[in-house]
Amino acid sequence: MIFTTNKAQSVAGLGESALIENIQDWLKAVTPQPPYGIGDDCAVIEVSKPTRQIITTDAVTFGQHFDSSVSAKDAGAKLIKRNLSDIAAMGGKPEHAVLALLCGPDTSLEWLKAFFQGIAEISKPYKLRIVGGDVSALPIGQFSAVLTLVGTADTMKLRSDARIGDHIYVTGSLGGSILEHHYAFSPRLDEGAWLARHSACTALMDLTDGLAKDLRALLPQHGSAYIDLSAVPIAGDAHKLAQDSKRDPLEHAFCDGEDYELLFTIHGSTPAADFEQQWRQSFPSLKLSRIGKIDRVSNSGHLLIDAVTNEALPWTEGFEHLKG
């Protein structure tokens, strides 16, 4: 359990200084010695490559991004992977990160140790180094961790560069994140870097808030997305959820969020079949779906259109924080 009534087994029984020492030990495999790691007021990062730095920040909060059904290791890994997915969406490579821990005094030390073990285990294969951070108190029963990740990118693709006529693609399958996918996913770093180098790719982003919301962020001015609904890759878990929710599986695919797949466009003049063949040669185990095309905005002004019926799609909103 994340919280405990036994003070000796909680962060309150340890104190901040000893807790930081424990965190250094828990992360020792992925954090260098000061001044390049935890221990100074700032971490020192030497930049010698003629590349551009990219930076992102994301959090996991108990009750919002995970609950008691998610193990401590999986919650820690999710914190890292959420940020890695942002790096992937820019075609970048992760390098260093700082972590802010905010927790109630009743947070279990056993649980917290496993949380950091999850962070360390997922950081290793990506050669990510945790170089510092902060510890702060919250009221009883609350927990949050915030990661700020710095990476580099030789070439980047922005979400703002899509154009009228571009083809729209997604990787993997969508929907059903509620059934474990929201933490049991793989950030698409290799695929994002490949797309960033590919001359046909015009715009790139990751899918975190649902296709209905994120796709609108990709559209150029005066552009609408004409979607072939039969081509949208629906996850099996979306069909399972639909049995209980009585909603269309497509609605789950468009609106649930936390898919952590890539959404991107390729230039309309590019032979789609050739591009897709190149993809299969590079990533044979990851499904790629061409789900539509960007065309001029319809007379109705709607941004998401059924390509077959030419009618507006009923699913227009994904997940949005702070919205009642």
Q: What is the pLDDT of residue 317?
A: 66
244 within domain boundaries: yes
How far CA 242 is from CA of 29, 171, 246, 249, 251, in Å, comes to 42, 22, 5, 5, 9
265 within domain boundaries: yes
Answer yes or no: do 206 and 69 share one domain. Answer: no
2 within domain boundaries: no
Q: DSSP of 277-320, one letter per residue?
A: HHHHHH-TTS-EEEEEEEEEPPTT--SEEETTT--B-S------
39 within domain boundaries: yes
Phi-psi region of 28 (alpha: psi -120 to 50; beta: other; left: phi over 0): alpha
Answer yes or no: do 283 and 238 share one domain. Answer: yes
Q: What is the pLDDT of residue 31?
A: 87
- What's 38's domain CATH number? 3.30.1330.10
**Tens of pLDDT, residues 15-50:** 888 898 899 999 998 988 877 788 766 667 777 667
133 within domain boundaries: yes
pTM value is 0.89
Answer yes or no: do 167 and 301 share one domain. Answer: yes
168 within domain boundaries: yes
Answer yes or no: do 93 and 144 share one domain. Answer: yes
State how far the Cα of 258 lies from the Cα of 239, in Å rounded to an integer.
16
Residue span of the structural domain in which 62 resides: 7-153
CB-based contact 147:47 (threshold 8 Å) = no
Answer yes or no: do 52 and 149 share one domain. Answer: yes
State how far the Cα of 130 lies from the Cα of 30, in Å rounded to an integer.
6
Matching residue, tokens 């991107």:
264
Answer yes or no: do 173 and 272 share one domain. Answer: yes
Q: What is the pLDDT of residue 16?
A: 82
Answer yes or no: do 176 and 66 share one domain. Answer: no
**Tens of pLDDT, residues 63-79:** 999 999 999 999 999 99
For the segment 132-152, the average pLDDT, to the nearest whole number, is: 96
Answer yes or no: do 250 and 229 share one domain. Answer: yes
State how far the Cα of 272 lies from the Cα of 132, in Å rounded to an integer.
45
**Tens of pLDDT, residues 172-223:** 999 989 899 999 999 999 999 999 999 999 999 999 999 999 999 899 999 9
Phi-psi region of 132 (alpha: psi -120 to 50; beta: other; left: phi over 0): left
Is it the case that residue 322 has pLDDT exceeding 60? Answer: no
CB-based contact 211:281 (threshold 8 Å) = no
Answer yes or no: do 225 and 281 share one domain. Answer: yes
Answer yes or no: do 256 and 274 share one domain. Answer: yes
Name the 3-class secondary structure at 12: helix
The distance in angstroms from the start CA to the end CA of the chain is 30
Answer yes or no: do 187 and 267 share one domain. Answer: yes
The sign one gets for the Cα dihedral 191, 192, 194, 199 is positive
Domains: count for the chain: 2
| In the chain, alpha helices (H) | 16-26, 72-89, 109-123, 189-197, 211-218, 236-245, 249-255, 272-282
pLDDT more than 70, % of the chain: 95
For the segment 252-259, the average pLDDT, to the nearest whole number, is: 94
State how far the Cα of 143 lies from the Cα of 137, in Å rounded to an integer.
9
Answer yes or no: do 127 and 198 share one domain. Answer: no
314 within domain boundaries: no
Structure-token pair, residue 236: 């099996």
Q: Which pLDDT band, with edges at 50, 70 and 90, does 300 fall under?
A: confident
Phi-psi region of 283 (alpha: psi -120 to 50; beta: other; left: phi over 0): beta
Q: Output the average pLDDT for the chain.
A: 92
